[in-house]
Amino acid sequence: MTVFESYLEKIKDESHRLIMKNLLQWVMDKYPMLDQKIAWNQPHFVHNGTFIIAFTHAKQHMSVAPEYKAIDEFRQEIRNNEYLSTNFIFKIKWTQKVNHNLISRIIEFNMQDKKGLQTYWRK
């Protein structure tokens, strides 16, 4: 969690900070092979040098950024959870339950789909 401590300290709302901290810790525990870094002012998880997923806090929600291909792959499930989405992110309101199963499947999809990719982002 050391990599993300300074990021978490900037979240003023304690309940939001705890939700974000718990999610980041959950990802680290479940996927210890993922590297952690702060990039573009947000927590990123990276596997073999390629981006897997990022999370960002906002006043009303947390954004989950898995790249467009994962959003397309899981769009219906994102909608079924009543999360708002764009082409590149989906938003979990602070009052909504975090669907860890969905996030897990997105992470695993990206790890498999980007296996052997030599760039940080998909082209």
Each domain of the chain, given as residue ranges in start order, spans: 2-113
CA-only gyration radius of the chain, Å = 14
- Is 80 exceeded by the pLDDT of residue 1? no
Nearest to 53 by CA among 79, 24, 78, 81: 24
- Is 90 exceeded by the pLDDT of residue 35? yes
**Percent of the chain beyond pLDDT 90?**
96
Residue 92 bridge partners (DSSP): 62
Residue range 2-113 forms a domain whose CATH class is alpha beta
> Binning pLDDT at 50, 70 and 90, where does residue 39 land?
very high
Query: Among the residues of 1-123, which ranges form H helices?
Result: 5-9, 14-30, 68-80, 100-113
Q: What are phi and psi of 46, to 5 degrees?
A: -130, 145
pTM for the whole structure: 0.95
- Is 70 exceeded by the pLDDT of residue 14? yes
C-beta of residue 64 within 8 angstroms of C-beta of residue 55: yes
